[in-house]
Amino acid sequence: MNDSQLLRYSRHILLEEIGVEGQARLLAANALVIGAGGLGSPAALYLGSAGVGRITVVDPDRVDTTNLQRQIAHTLARVGSFKADSIATAIGQINPDVLVTAVTAKAEGQALQAWVQAADVVLDCTDNFQTRHAINKACVHHQKPLVSGAALRMDGQVSVFDSRQPLAPCYACLFPEEEAPEETQCATMGVFAPLVGIVGSMQAAEALKLLCGTGESLAGRLLMLDALHMRWSEIGTRRAPGCKVCGTRPGAH
């Protein structure tokens, strides 16, 4: 690290749990953020401000005026721009040293496989089950830790799915693809503005811990937030032996 970086990241370096070594890991890391909306905005901004060296942001959508109520990376001036480009601009204004790749395409197929394979950590900030399951399958296949968040109305949840751990479940263990509920969107159901900030920030925290190799991740735990009454609840989770995605991997039985 040069003098400018030592100054910029001094508050991280002062932490015993991160220090110079941990910050150096962040600078060398590659994070994949899929979804540049309510969750992806705070998650990507915190990864960028913390000094994650390379960040790939994937989202095919454009900024709409209705997004500005909660998607804090975007501005009125960037309405009509691709969300991935908008987040890349926002990160650049905070930390120009971070290399941000904006991808304005859907997360699917061989492209998704390549992005996941190249990443050190994957953040699922999407809002539909089909994409979530595709991301999960790619992460299990390439053995990459997945930080998953969700928020709708006044309720949020966050967890880490790390199939490198023998007993840790994948996303499909908790939410089997064949049992996926009917899709609901904030456009029709609404979402409490700070809720996505809380969940997205927690996703960033979990991703940074994984990249630094510090602390205990949420693997094997699902945190749920009732923001109306501001109550957290936690349930323990385990790998499902019959899971069609990770059930045949070592440690599944």
User: Looking at the annotation, which residues are catalytic?
Assistant: 186
- The angle that helices 19-27 and 193-212 make with each other, rounded to 10 degrees, is 110
pLDDT number for residue 252: 43
- The pLDDT value recorded for residue 178 is 82
pLDDT at 251: 43
Task: Enter the pTM of the model.
Answer: 0.94
Q: What is the pLDDT of residue 214?
A: 95
Domain 3-236 is found in CATH 3.40.50.720: yes
The pLDDT value given to residue 179: 74
Each domain of the chain, given as residue ranges in start order, spans 3-236
> What per-residue confidence (pLDDT) applies to 253?
35
Low-confidence ranges of the chain (pLDDT < 70): 180-187, 248-253
Own/partner pairs for 94-99, CB < 8 Å, 24+ apart?
A: 94/45, 94/48, 94/49, 95/8, 95/48, 95/49, 95/51, 97/5, 97/51, 98/48, 98/51, 98/52, 98/53, 98/54, 98/55, 99/53, 99/54, 99/55
C-alpha of 53 from chain center? 16
Give me the pLDDT at residue 159, please: 98
pLDDT digits (tens, 9 = 90+) for 30-48: 999 999 999 999 999 999 9
- Looking up tokens 């609901």 gives 184
pLDDT of residue 184: 60
